Amino acid sequence: MQQKSKFVLAAIILLSVFLVVYIGYSVFMQPVEVNNQSINQSREILSVVDLPQAEISTNMSVDQAIQNRRSVRRFSATPISLQDVSQLLWAAQGITDPERNFRSTPSAGHVFPMEIYLVAGNNGVLELEAGIYHYNPFNHTLEMIVKGDQRYNLSQAAHQQKWVNDAPINLVVTGNYHKMQDKYPDKNLSTRFVNMEAGHIGENIYLEAVSRGLGTVAIGSFYDDQMINILKLPTNETPLYIYPVGYQAQ
């Protein structure tokens, strides 16, 4: 090989290595900035409820929970405990690394664009007033944003799916595409990342519910505009999933 072509080949290899390292670094390895901003800080909060600390128990193996997981659509009216709510929310978005505010589910580029809402029915949760609450993972609290039982409205928004009204609680997962796009301007990429994160959260909710003797079902069928109204969502949040949770009816 001529001296000149060897030089060109070496330059191409060097450039390719540089590009791979640069892209890999910019996507996955950027230094971690501690993200402790709740995007809902501007919204009116009616009251704040402290959740009991989440327990790391060994009730059931992950294998067993995966084996037992099945979508449940028939719920009894038996209320669930505040500890159950705490565990479900922790599994969905709880902070598991307080130094970096990293959470129970993975997040592309540690952007954390997801929010969780609790829609608690009348006597849905022991010692908790019916209403809609935003989960604040930073201090593991519930922020009440709407008073009263909203399950009927929610089930209407979910194309009249009856189990949304029957379950003592529903968890709603929302995503902020704008927050992800701030870091990843490619719209396809950032949209995909947010949708994937909803899936991670959903599976954690399923498995946590199963391990506590509860049941749930992923609901992706609903009218966005009605959901936005009921939950009083900020303009940058899109509803992605509803998870009714409760004890399975016999």
Chain residues binding ligand FMN by CB under 6 A are: 70-71, 73, 161, 217-221
Closer by beta carbon to ligand FMN, 144 or else 157: 157
Identity at 163, one-letter amino acid code: W
Asked if residue 135 lies in contact with residue 118, where contact means CB atoms within 8 angstroms, the answer is: yes
Closer by beta carbon to ligand FMN, 49 or else 230: 230
**Minimum distance of ligand FMN from residue 215's CB (angstroms):** 10
Residue 129 structure tokens: 């007033």
Tell me the HSE value of 12 on the side-chain side, using a 13 A CA sphere. Answer: 6
Asked if residue 71 lies in contact with residue 210, where contact means CB atoms within 8 angstroms, the answer is: no
Closer by beta carbon to ligand FMN, 189 or else 218: 218
Closer by beta carbon to ligand FMN, 40 or else 161: 161
Give residue number: closest CB to ligand FMN: 220
Residue 125 structure tokens: 């949760």
Residue 213 per-residue DSSP state: T
**Minimum distance of ligand FMN from residue 12's CB (angstroms):** 44
**Minimum distance of ligand FMN from residue 131's CB (angstroms):** 24
Nearest CA among 78, 77, 87, 81 for reference residue 210:
87
**Minimum distance of ligand FMN from residue 218's CB (angstroms):** 4
